[in-house]
Amino acid sequence: MILTVTLNAALDVTYEVDALVPRGSHRVRAVHERAGGKGVNVARVLSALGTPATVTGLAGGPTGQLVRDELRTAGLRDELVPMAGDSRRTVTVVSRDDGDATVFNQPGPHVDRAAWADFAARFARLVREAAVVVLSGSLPPGLPSDAYARLVRTAAAAGASTVLDTSGPALTAALAAGPTVVKPNTAEIADVTGHEDVVAAAEALRARGAQAVVASRGPEGLYAVTPDGAWRATPPRRLSGNPTGAGDACVAALAASLASGEPWPVRLREAVALSAAAVPCPMAGDVDRDIYDQFRTTVSVENTHASDIH
Amino acid sequence: MILTVTLNAALDVTYEVDALVPRGSHRVRAVHERAGGKGVNVARVLSALGTPATVTGLAGGPTGQLVRDELRTAGLRDELVPMAGDSRRTVTVVSRDDGDATVFNQPGPHVDRAAWADFAARFARLVREAAVVVLSGSLPPGLPSDAYARLVRTAAAAGASTVLDTSGPALTAALAAGPTVVKPNTAEIADVTGHEDVVAAAEALRARGAQAVVASRGPEGLYAVTPDGAWRATPPRRLSGNPTGAGDACVAALAASLASGEPWPVRLREAVALSAAAVPCPMAGDVDRDIYDQFRTTVSVENTHASDIH
């Protein structure tokens, strides 16, 4: 079982409008709501591929209830832990005229000590069933900055691997706990390490404790530095679209191939193919099966030396 | 008591962002939520002026519960009738850099026959306590287009006056029931009558059944055709800002002065002063007491003949 953690779960709301006009008053033509947050998206992708995934994290209030109801509708196992505040929403305004999306992210409620303690206890129980734990997204207000470090240590003690997809201080603080894989994108890795160069930055994260670093280079693919070697994985062609969905699909592929014990070149090929399959889908958590099937045989994976990648 | 009807009650949500960037991803800096819909705004203004107001209409689901909770927090009497669907939200994105507001209005859920029958029964009971009934806003999907006509007749049979603030077919269908006052703005009146000229349009609405017509001319004030004569009411100076709030405050003043039996020139002076007092407030339902006190002695009200107004 793969366990995905979403500490700042959200109700993702999409508003379809004819066209976005700043300072205008818009009639919303259609409203779509579903459970969101990066860990939920990862679980949705895993479930679509037939890999059992369990969703845990924190959710509260009437919005949290809507998140949980939708998880059940989607057939995902809901192990979210209640908290006192009302879960956040994200609102994405999509223009019907050009398909452009404009996103508004609420910050999420403050998490108190009691909710964090409840979550830690639930996590310690769930992790015993998990082969891989996915830790995705920002930390909500109120949590200690080393929250992910603590969860990585609990997972490791239970024998589970960890895939960490976060940024800033939450990423920095987690490195010393030795996550199995961290998956920053080029902006996040530069922010945390101060290195613009992806190779130097990935090596710096490894030096600080990450066992493997998979750096997302957007439409150019992935660069990975691992205990088994370094690779560059490149898609056969570029696709443009939804970058959030691509990142979450990449994590889903890394988690699934880690769980099934595939070697790194296979993990990276799967990750690039599944990322590409998410790019044309407007909603994060969805993937295009045709693109996935086509890309997983055509992604190029090359063993590299640091000097090859710039 | 003044009874305000909001058949499409909403949770009005305001998102503060640094600046609205189409196609951007925005961190929402602050979220404000309160009960909304035009009738709720009218009741809030009345309550701020010390006039007892009761809120009825339809609300359902978790969003309806938030609407009701906030009404109670605001000290408004909640007589909303439950319905099966989830009440709509409106989202207003306010840019901190320039104060500009961009509004997204959800359509509201479909109202079934059972909810409409429940509402009609509650309305028939409440209207017996009411001196004036305010009917504001659009009709939600599922209601008959003559919904307001039926409510006007029920109110008249119980001896209550009615102030109707709606547009399009909902306004057209209500005229034959003889509402005491209708308050279209210049665009709405032209749309319904086909007359660009506000005098001809107001006379046309009177000919179709409205007892009095108060046409809002935005920052230029009001034009009224009544059984007692015609008047033009003009503010001492123009203010720019929130037109929704101004319209709802205008209706609140008309309802309060109708309830207290003031003559038409006083009603119109109050309506222009209270509209002006709402214009600088970002949230509909709020009024600036200083502007109200200043304008209510300086609004000009002139008895007119049709040929004076163009």
Report CB contact under 8 Å: A105, B26. Answer: yes
Q: How far apart are the CA of A259 and the nearest CA of chain B, in angstroms?
A: 33
* CB-CB neighbors (< 8 A) of A65 in chain B: 62
Q: Does residue B290 carry a catalytic annotation? A: no
Closest approach of chain A CAs to the CA of B226, in angstroms?
A: 32
- Residue A178, sorted as left (phi over 0), alpha (psi -120 to 50) or beta, turns out to be left
* Mutation for B interface: A18, A23, A38, most B CBs within 10 A: A23
- The three-state DSSP-derived secondary structure of B33-87 is EEEECHHHHHHHHHHHCCCCEEEEEEEEHHHHHHHHHHHHHCCCEEEEEEECCCC
Selected catalytic residue, list B78, B248, B286, B288: B248
Among residues 10-49 of chain B, which lie with CB inside 8 Å of chain A? 15, 17, 20-29, 31
Contact A278, A251 (CB under 8 A): no
Contact A26 B66 (CB under 8 A): no
Reduce the DSSP state of residue B11 to 3 states and report it.
Answer: strand
Question: Residue A280, class by beta-carbon neighbours within 10 Å (0-12 exposed, 13-18 middle, 19+ buried)?
Answer: middle
Domains contained in chain A, number: 1
Which pLDDT band holds residue B310 (cuts at 50, 70, 90)? very low
Sign (positive or negative) of CA dihedral A79, A82, A83, A88: positive
Nearest chain B residue to A18, by CA:
B104
Check CB contact of B240 with chain A, cutoff 8 Å.
no
A169 touches chain B (CB under 8 A): no
Domain extent, residue A289, equals 2-20+29-308
Q: pLDDT exceeding 70 applies to what percent of chain B?
A: 98
| A137 interaction partners in chain B (CB closer than 8 Å) | none
Q: Is the pLDDT of residue B306 over 60?
A: no
Task: Among B22, B29, B101, select the one facing A100 at the smallest CB separation.
Answer: B22
Question: Do A93 and B104 lie within an 8 Å CB cutoff?
Answer: yes
Looking up tokens 């906030």 gives B70
Domain-located, residue B266: yes
- Disruptive mutation site among A32, A106, A244 for chain B (greatest number of B CBs within 10 Å): A106
Asked if B181 and B164 count as a contact pair (C-beta separation under 8 A), the reply is: yes
pLDDT at B2: 98
**What would the two tokens of residue B54 be?**
């009761």
Nearest to B134 by CA among B55, B70, B189: B55
Hey, are the CB atoms on A28 and B65 less than 8 Å from each other?
no
Closest CB to B100 among A20, A22, A65: A22
Among A17, A65, A102, select the one facing B23 at the smallest CB separation.
A102
Between vectors from CA A214 to CA A208 and to CA A219, what angle results, nearest 5°? 140
User: Are B123 and B56 in contact, with CB atoms under 8 Å apart?
Assistant: yes
Inter-chain CB proximity A100 and B23 less than 8 Å: yes
Provide CB contacts within 8 A for A190, sequence distance 6+: A196, A201
B102–A17: do the CB atoms touch at under 8 Å?
no
Strand order in the sheet with B132-136: B77-83, B53-60, B2-6, B132-136, B161-165, B181-182, B212-216, B222-226, B229-234, B300-303
DSSP A109: P
**In this structure, is residue B24 part of a structural domain?**
no
pLDDT score for A310: 47
- Strands A53-59, A161-165: pairing is unpaired
For residues B233 and B228, give the distance between their C-alpha atoms in angstroms, rounded to a whole number: 15
Q: What's the residue count for chain B?
A: 310
- The answer to whether the beta carbons of residues A232 and A200 sit under 8 Å apart is no
Backbone dihedral angles phi then psi of residue A270, each to the nearest 5 degrees: -60, -40
Q: Bin B9: left if φ > 0, else alpha if -120 < ψ < 50, else beta.
A: beta
CA distance B106 to chain A (A): 5
Q: Are A25 and B107 a contacting pair at CB < 8 A? A: no
Pairwise CA distance, residues A222 & B134, whole Å: 62
Q: What is the CATH number of the domain that holds A53?
A: 3.40.1190.20
- Chain B's closest residue to A61, CA to CA, is B62
Q: Note the pLDDT of residue A106.
A: 94
> What CA–CA distance (Å, rounded) separates B293 from B270?
10
Listed in order, strand segments (DSSP E) in A145-299 are 161-165, 181-182, 212-216, 222-226, 229-234
Rounded Cα–Cα distance for residues B208 and A309 (Å): 78
Give the span between the Cα atoms of B31 and B221, in whole angstroms.
33
**A147: its two tokens:** 């929250």
| A104 vs B contacts (CB less than 8 Å) | 15, 17, 26, 28, 91, 93
Q: Which residue has the higher pLDDT, B195 or A239?
A: B195
Tell me: pLDDT of B240 over 80.
no
Report which residue type is found at A159: G
Gap between the Cα atoms of B224 and B230, Å rounded: 5
Under-50 pLDDT residues of chain A = 310
Mean pLDDT computed over every residue of chain B:
94
Q: B91 vs A31: CB contact, 8 Å cut-off?
A: no
pLDDT of residue A308: 53
Per-residue b or e along B37-70, where b marks 16 or more CB atoms closer than 10 Å to that residue's CB = bbbbbbbbbbbbbebebbbbbbbbbbbbbbbbeb
What token pair was written down for B137?
Answer: 């806003």
Which of the four pLDDT bands, split at 50, 70 and 90, describes residue B241? Answer: confident
Q: Which residue of B has its CA nearest to A22?
A: B102
Residue B88 in any domain: the answer is no
Q: How far apart are the first and last CA of chain B?
A: 37
Give the model confidence (pLDDT) of A242-297 as tens digits: 777 899 999 999 999 999 999 999 999 999 999 999 998 888 899 999 999 999 99
Q: Which of the two residues, B240 and B163, has the higher pLDDT score?
A: B163
From A33, A32, A75, A81, select the one nearest A56 (Cα to Cα).
A81
Query: What would the pLDDT profile of B57-98 be if each residue is shown by its tens digit?
Result: 999 999 999 999 999 999 999 999 999 999 999 999 999 988
Q: What is the ipTM of this complex?
A: 0.84
Interface of B with A in 76-95 (CB under 8 A): 91, 93
Q: Where are the alpha helices (DSSP H) in A49-197?
A: 61-73, 113-126, 147-157, 168-174, 186-193
Tell me whether residues A26 and B102 touch, CB distance under 8 A: yes
* pLDDT for the residue A244: 77
Does the beta-carbon distance from B104 to A15 stay under 8 Å?
A: yes
- Asked if the C-beta of A201 comes within 8 angstroms of chain B's C-beta atoms, the answer is no
Banded pLDDT at B308 (limits 50, 70, 90): low
Q: Which residues of A touch B27 (CB under 8 A)?
A: 105, 107
Task: Report helix, strand or coil for B213.
Answer: strand
